[in-house]
Amino acid sequence: MTRPLHVVVLAAGKGTRMCSRLPKVLQPLGGAPLITHVLERARTLAPQSITVVVGHEAPRVRAAAQAADVRFVEQHEQKGTGHAVHLALAGQDPDSRVLVLYGDVPLVPRADLESCLNASAPLTILGAEVDDPSGYGRLIERPPGHLDRIVEERDADPATRSIRRINTGILCAGARDLLRWLAAGEAEAERRRGEWYLTDVVAEARGEDRPVALLMSTRPEAVLGINDRVQLAAQERLLQSSRAERCMREGLHLSDPARFDLRGSLAFGSDCFIDANVILEGDVRLGEAVTIGPGCRLRDVTVADGAVIDAHSLLESCTVGPGCHVGPFARLRPGARLEAGARIGNFVEMKNAVLGPGAKANHLSYIGDASVGARANIGAGTITCNYDGANKHRTDIGADAFIGSNSALVAPVRVGDSATVGAGTVLTRDAPPERLTLARAPQRTLEGWRRPGKRPRTPGKD
């Protein structure tokens, strides 16, 4: 029978090098906190339990990691990674196997974790060979290929610092052994300014003459811990390029995978095209042959077949029907719904409003708390005045209505089917169907009027 697996996730540190009020494990990567990525990876291993060690800003970290399969252990004082694991193991089945994951190493490949679990040594360490090892613990192999101990950067002499094989922090061992090695390391920790290193377990195991397996990561760039914003940005690029690659392999046409940011989930049909610098957040669903122009941001949006979202448009919590055209420079706010073939043009904002099939608002409008019937045409500069300073009111515009440019529709108000509203109207009462309604001062021309000329200048005066 295989021994039960317990995963321990270290997430109590402050992350001083981030220079942020946000705890490090809550920094966002690909639209989700670092800790979320670590937990996702832990779950793929189907462990018997997951323990997250929290400390700095514990309530916030707990709230982000909260789940039925997660238990929390509080490390009140951050005395080091060894101390954190020691706390996490209290009360755990000593016969279980323990996999330690670091909250700041979010993208560790599943294959690496599986190799760690498949190794049969009493202690397995995941290492990585990197070009720039600075900041990481160095692997001391003696003889080569046999891990003897790990030396932290701050304790390393120049020769040790030049070693390019580093500790990823990820390790696997039996709970009983790990506890014993950790307890032995505590004395050593006291000597060293009170910091209790998890990495000392290697030397302890070797001291007992137990073999230590060293596995080297298959993807060294993905197992580098994130300590500062430079490293955070590097991991973000890594994650985004793998997301872009996955989408392209599934048939998405990306103009430039290096300028694509997927910060949530994306579903798409065949022949969709996404131009440069598009940001997708939350849950985005695209039908077939959808085009998204450059510089758009979509959050929680559904776009149906054949629709075009033109350059620099912002869409949030809305639905765009088949064959619609949105933008450039459009803003669809929550509750906007465009039915088949509707068009929203530049500098048009829509909120909590429905645009019926084939209806258009092509330029410079605000349509809020409104319904617009099929084929209606909203002229440039039309505003639904939905807010009276205290309450919101609705505007209903019938099918085939025509709203002249620069009209203000003062809600609550209705425009009947096939009604025409003259340009510049301030509509305060309902406009009946099929008639022209307009509210504007009559035009006058003053006969005999002349534009004043400049007065002649008086010499000597200014």
Tell me which of ligand UD1, Ca ion, none is bound by residue 152, counting a contact when its beta carbon lies within the kind-specific cut-off of 5 to 8 angstroms. Answer: ligand UD1
Active site residue 363: yes
Cα dihedral 385, 388, 392, 394 sign: negative
Out of 137, 225, 321, 358, the residue judged to bind Ca ion by CB under 5 A: 225
Using the contact rule CB under 6 A, the part of the chain among 72-80, 178-186, 287-295, 384-392 near ligand UD1 is 72-80
For residues 298-310, one letter each, b for 16 or more C-beta atoms within 10 angstroms of the residue's C-beta and e for the rest, the string is bbbbbbbbbbbbb
Yes or no: say if 86 and 58 are a contact pair by the CB < 8 Å rule.
Answer: no
CA distances from 91 to 52, 87, 179, 192 (A): 14, 9, 11, 27
Binding to Ca ion by residue 133, rule CB under 5 A?
no
Binding to ligand UD1 by residue 103, rule CB under 6 A?
yes
| Closest distance to ligand UD1 from the beta carbon of 104 (Å) | 4
Task: DSSP letter for 35, please.
Answer: H
| Closest distance to Ca ion from the beta carbon of 102 (Å) | 6
Site string for Ca ion, 92-131 (x = CB under 5 A): ------------x---------------------------
Site for ligand UD1 in 379-418 (CB under 6 A): none
**103 labeled binding residue:** yes
**11 labeled binding residue:** yes
Of 198, 6, 174, whose CA–CA distance to 86 is shortest? 198
Of 437, 408, 406, 409, whose CA–CA distance to 423 is shortest? 406
Query: Could you give the count of Cα atoms lying within 13 Å of 133 in the half-sphere of its Cβ?
Result: 24
Residue 229: CB partners within 8 Å, gap ≥ 6?
18, 19
- Nearer residue to ligand UD1 within complex by CB, 13 or 47: 13
Out of 152, 188, 305, 417, the residue judged to bind ligand UD1 by CB under 6 A: 152
Measure the CA–CA gap between 380 and 364, rounded to whole angstroms. 6
Tell me which of Ca ion, ligand UD1, none is bound by residue 166, counting a contact when its beta carbon lies within the kind-specific cut-off of 5 to 8 angstroms. Answer: ligand UD1
- Nearer residue to Ca ion within complex by CB, 150 or 338: 150
The 3-state DSSP class for residue 304 equals coil
Of 224, 216, 8, whose CA–CA distance to 115 is shortest? 216
Token code pair at residue 452: 């004043």
- Nearer residue to ligand UD1 within complex by CB, 152 or 271: 152
What's the residue count for the chain? 462
Pairing label, strands 97-102, 165-174? antiparallel
Yes or no: say if 202 and 150 are a contact pair by the CB < 8 Å rule.
Answer: yes
Binding to ligand UD1 by residue 260, rule CB under 6 A?
no
Output the known binding site for UDP-N-acetyl-alpha-D-glucosamine: 10-13, 24, 75, 80-81, 102-104, 137, 152, 167, 227, 333, 351, 366, 377
Binding residues (CB under 6 A) for ligand UD1: these are 10-13, 25, 53, 55, 75, 78-81, 83-84, 102-105, 136-137, 150, 152, 166-169, 197-199, 225, 227
Output the known binding site: 10-13, 24, 75, 80-81, 102-104, 137, 152, 167, 227, 333, 351, 366, 377, 380, 386-387, 405, 423, 440
Catalytic residues: 363
